[in-house]
């Protein structure tokens, strides 16, 4: 429970302070089980929030701009942010507009929405970095959370053609979380680290919301760092007309693990515990074949639907897939689970390695990493799937396929006022950019 958020909402609804204290006490004591502490805590939080609310209306013009954030009046959940679908992609493109002005020395632009960021440090070397957040539903399963988020961050680095050289870990555990979760999460990260001989070199450990969030929710992330010595990164925008599309067999990661846990397909968890993806990339690097590959990605962002959409937009080409061949790239146990649960296999992360390359080297790549040819690249800027000899558009849904019982309740439908929401979000982003520029100018004036 976010105590500060609760009190702030109540004050803004003009709920009497006595009522806030009475109801807040009941909520806190459910978790803390200490009545005296609960009474003191809710009163202290109320006092802090009252003072901080006044800060939002200070007379100092500059300070008022700094303290207030631009309101989009659109909630994360209702717009599908974090759900790897159409809404999520839109918000990330808006974030890229803020970042764009910092990309003057980057190899890739934030607009490209690529798996990792790349900076050229000298004539022959690139530094590649990626950060991945832990799957939200793995809070009660810290080892699996650490394992899969470490592997996910490394995948994003390797698909750019980089060798992983280091990992960083960041874990936030709420006030009532058992410290053992931190150890279990770290052990999961280190399992991947040791399996691939890539050291975990540092990180951060904090509480979620400090004293203001009670409960035992865990949120965390892992950053991976890699290097490229003497060839160009395999970024998405290099996909070109005439290329073929290859994919390795994927067994899923955090998403598939979550489906297995919350639907009771426990044996599927074992299928996800491997580092095959990274080893396939290492083979491409070690043999030098990586230098001849145009683009690579991992099938994660809303499944093939999402990744194909993003690649088509960034490279201005059409990706065309054969449906039956795509199904052959999914681990049999994983695929059976998805089909039995009526979860679209093309709309969920399966963690296959997708390689886009010239036809001349396709056979060599297929033999080296045991990949399947699943499609081809042609002129255009949309993606398609061929089923029963019919070519149909392949588009991301508003959210990725609903892969847990709760997600099926939330649903996948796009809000009716989606376009209006986009306008409101875009306006909030414009205001954030203006604020950034305004404060930057203040800093520069002060020397």
Query: What's the pLDDT band for 363 if we cut at 50, 70, 90?
Result: very high
Distance CA 372, CA 409 (A): 35
Residues 444 and 299 in one domain: no
Query: Residue 262's pLDDT is what?
Result: 95
For 129, phi then psi, to 5°, come to: -140, 145
- Over pLDDT 70: what percentage of the chain? 97
Can you give the CATH number for the domain in which 133 is found?
3.30.1330.10
Residues 248 and 377 in one domain: yes
Residues 270 and 327 in one domain: yes
Q: Report if residue 63 sits inside a domain.
A: no
Helices (H), 290-384: 303-315, 323-327, 332-340, 359-369
Q: Report if residue 409 sits inside a domain.
A: no
Residues 250 and 301 in one domain: yes
Residues 240 and 222 in one domain: no
For 370, phi then psi, to 5°, come to: 55, 50
Query: What's the pLDDT band for 105 if we cut at 50, 70, 90?
Result: low
Query: Residue 320's pLDDT is what?
Result: 97
Q: Write the pLDDT tens digit of every residue in 307-345.
A: 898 888 888 999 999 999 999 999 999 999 999 999 999
Residues 89 and 119 in one domain: no
Query: What's the pLDDT band for 407 if we cut at 50, 70, 90?
Result: confident
Distance CA 375, CA 362 (A): 12
Q: Which of 233, 266, 293 is the last residue of a domain?
A: 233
Q: Write the pLDDT tens digit of every residue in 264-279.
A: 999 999 999 999 999 9
Q: Report if residue 98 sits inside a domain.
A: yes
For residues 382-411, give the mean pLDDT.
Answer: 86
Instruction: Say whether pLDDT at 300 is over 70.
Output: yes
Which residues make Cβ contacts (< 8 Å) with residue 341, sequence separation at least 6? 259, 263, 403
Secondary structure of 194-214 in the HEC alphabet?
Answer: HHHCCCEEEEEEECCCHHHEC
Which residues make Cβ contacts (< 8 Å) with residue 163, sequence separation at least 6? 226, 227, 228, 282, 285
Query: Residue 117's pLDDT is what?
Result: 77
Can you give the CATH number for the domain in which 332 is found?
3.90.650.10
Residues 381 and 306 in one domain: yes
Query: Residue 412's pLDDT is what?
Result: 74
Query: What's the pLDDT band for 104 if we cut at 50, 70, 90?
Result: low
Instruction: Say whether pLDDT at 172 is over 70.
Output: yes
In the structure encoding, which two tokens stand for residue 378, read together? 């042609």
Q: Which of 172, 200, 233 is the last residue of a domain?
A: 233
Q: Report if residue 434 sits inside a domain.
A: yes
Q: Report if residue 430 sits inside a domain.
A: yes
Q: Write the pLDDT tens digit of every residue in 179-189.
A: 999 999 999 99
Instruction: Say whether pLDDT at 111 is over 80.
Output: no
Distance CA 369, CA 212 (A): 49
Q: Which of 80-94, 111-125, 143-157, 375-389 has the lowest mean pLDDT?
A: 111-125
pTM: 0.88
> CA quadruple 200, 204, 209, 215: dihedral positive or negative?
positive
Instruction: Say whether pLDDT at 108 is over 70.
Output: no
Instruction: Say whether pLDDT at 124 is over 80.
Output: no
Query: Residue 360's pLDDT is what?
Result: 96
Q: Which of 210, 233, 256 is the last residue of a domain?
A: 233
Query: Residue 110's pLDDT is what?
Result: 59
User: Rounded to an integer, what is the distance from CA 317 to the centroid of its chain?
Assistant: 24
Instruction: Say whether pLDDT at 391 is over 90.
Output: yes
Query: What's the pLDDT band for 242 if we cut at 50, 70, 90?
Result: very high
Q: Report if residue 414 sits inside a domain.
A: no
Residues 218 and 327 in one domain: no
Residues 222 and 254 in one domain: no
Residues 431 and 390 in one domain: no
Query: What's the pLDDT band for 402 if we cut at 50, 70, 90?
Result: confident
**Strand 163-173, strand 218-228: pairing:** antiparallel
Residues 389 and 241 in one domain: yes
Q: How many domains does the chain have?
A: 4
How crowded is the C-beta side of 157, counted as CA atoms within 13 Å? Answer: 31
Residues 194 and 140 in one domain: yes
Query: Residue 46's pLDDT is what?
Result: 96
**Strand 383-387, strand 317-322: pairing:** parallel
- Domain limits at 264? 234-403
Q: Report if residue 321 sits inside a domain.
A: yes
Q: Report if residue 415 sits inside a domain.
A: no
């Amino acid at each position: 429970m976010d105590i500060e958020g609760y009190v702030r909402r109540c004050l803004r609804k003009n709920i009497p302070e006595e009522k806030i204290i009475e109801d807040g006490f009941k909520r806190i004591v459910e978790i803390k089980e200490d009545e005296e502490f609960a009474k003191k805590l809710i009163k202290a939080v109320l006092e802090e929030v009252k003072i901080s609310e006044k800060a939002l209306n200070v007379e100092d013009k500059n300070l008022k701009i700094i303290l207030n954030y631009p309101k989009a009046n659109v909630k994360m959940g209702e717009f599908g942010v974090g759900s790897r679908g159409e809404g999520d992609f839109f918000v990330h493109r808006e974030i890229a507009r803020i970042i764009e002005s910092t990309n003057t020395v980057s190899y890739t632009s934030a607009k490209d929405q690529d798996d990792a960021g790349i900076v050229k440090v000298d004539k022959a070397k690139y530094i590649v970095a990626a950060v991945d957040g832990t799957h939200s539903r793995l809070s009660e399963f810290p080892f699996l959370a650490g394992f899969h988020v470490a592997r996910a961050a490394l995948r994003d680095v390797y698909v750019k053609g980089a060798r992983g050289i280091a990992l960083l870990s960041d874990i936030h555990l709420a006030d009532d979380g058992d410290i053992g979760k931190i150890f279990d999460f770290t052990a999961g990260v280190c399992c991947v680290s040791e399996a691939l001989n890539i050291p975990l070199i540092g990180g951060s450990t904090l509480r979620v919301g400090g004293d203001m969030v009670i409960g035992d929710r865990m949120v965390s992330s892992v950053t991976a760092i890699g290097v490229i010595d003497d060839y160009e990164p395999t970024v998405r925008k290099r996909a070109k007309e005439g290329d073929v599309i290859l994919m390795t067999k994927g067994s899923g990661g955090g998403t598939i693990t979550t489906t297995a846990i919350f639907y009771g397909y426990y044996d599927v968890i074992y299928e996800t515990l491997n580092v095959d993806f990274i080893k396939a990339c290492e083979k491409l690097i070690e043999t030098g074949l990586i230098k001849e590959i145009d683009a690579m990605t991992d099938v994660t962002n809303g499944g093939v639907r999402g990744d194909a959409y993003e690649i088509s937009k960034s490279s201005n080409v059409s990706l065309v897939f054969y449906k039956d061949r795509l199904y052959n790239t999914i681990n049999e146990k994983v695929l059976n689970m998805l089909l039995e649960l009526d979860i679209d296999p093309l709309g969920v992360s399966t963690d296959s390695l997708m390689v886009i390359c010239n036809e001349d080297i396709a056979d060599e790549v297929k033999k080296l990493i045991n990949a399947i040819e699943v499609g081809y690249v042609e002129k255009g800027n949309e993606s398609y799937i061929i089923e029963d000899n019919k070519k149909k558009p392949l588009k991301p849904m508003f959210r990725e396929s609903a892969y847990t019982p709760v997600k099926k309740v939330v649903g996948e439908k796009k809000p009716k006022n989606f376009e209006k929401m986009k306008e409101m979000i875009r306006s909030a982003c414009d205001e954030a950019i203006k604020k950034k520029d305004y404060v930057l100018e203040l800093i520069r004036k002060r020397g």
